[in-house]
């Protein structure tokens, strides 16, 4: 049985979050699911957008990456992989996940899922959960506490390698 992994970091600027996402993008492969949890405005979309733009840049594509709040899912071809960016905020039942084709994408694509609580029982066991918490009482406007958790065998080295030294 695999061991659980949990690690917490503090980022004091939006650029630190962006830089982490850029570095993490190098460590993701098809079949990886990253669950982005946090309140509205916590930085979920910023992290996802930064990661997607980094992967697109590697294949020579510069593209605006909108939030999928209204489209529910945006897909991006990044050469050897496809990235699915989903915002499940507006979903009311896990059956809607199946209709989007998201469960199949869990096997074949890199999936970035905002509002993962909407997945219910469909949440993959091998996913990396990134919980982002804004700390408004901090002196730094963009200060975030980010907690990573998942299967240690799958995620520990990849997350730690992506963090700033």
Question: Structure tokens of 114?
Answer: 């905002």
pLDDT of residue 1: 56
Task: With a cut of 50, list the residues of the chain below it in pLDDT.
Answer: none
Question: Residue 83 domain-assigned?
Answer: yes
| pTM, rounded to two decimals | 0.93
Question: Residue 148 domain-assigned?
Answer: no
Per residue in 110-157, pLDDT (tens digit) is 999 999 999 999 999 999 999 999 876 556 567 899 999 999 999 999
Question: Structural domain of residue 38, as residue ranges?
Answer: 14-124
Question: Residue 137 domain-assigned?
Answer: no
Question: Residue 48 domain-assigned?
Answer: yes
pLDDT of residue 138: 55
How many Å apart are CA 46 and CA 21, to the nearest integer? 9
CATH (domain of 66) = 3.40.50.300
pLDDT of residue 143: 84
Question: Residue 35 domain-assigned?
Answer: yes
């Amino acid at each position: 049985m695999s061991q659980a992994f949990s690690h917490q970091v503090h980022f004091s600027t939006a650029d630190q979050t962006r830089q982490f996402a850029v570095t993490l993008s190098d460590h993701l492969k098809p079949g990886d699911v990253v669950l982005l949890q946090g309140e509205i405005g916590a930085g979920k979309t910023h992290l996802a957008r930064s990661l997607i733009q980094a992967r697109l840049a590697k294949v020579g594509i510069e593209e605006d990456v909108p939030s999928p709040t209204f489209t529910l899912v945006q897909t991006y071809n990044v050469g050897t992989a496809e990235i699915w960016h989903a915002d499940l905020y507006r979903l009311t039942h896990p059956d809607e996940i199946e209709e989007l084709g998201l469960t199949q994408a869990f096997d074949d694509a890199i999936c970035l899922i905002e509002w993962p609580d909407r997945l219910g029982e469909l949440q993959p066991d091998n996913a990396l959960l990134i919980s982002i918490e804004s700390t408004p009482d901090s002196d730094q406007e963009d200060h975030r506490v980010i907690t990573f958790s998942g299967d240690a065998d799958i995620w520990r080295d990849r997350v730690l390698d992506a963090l700033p030294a």
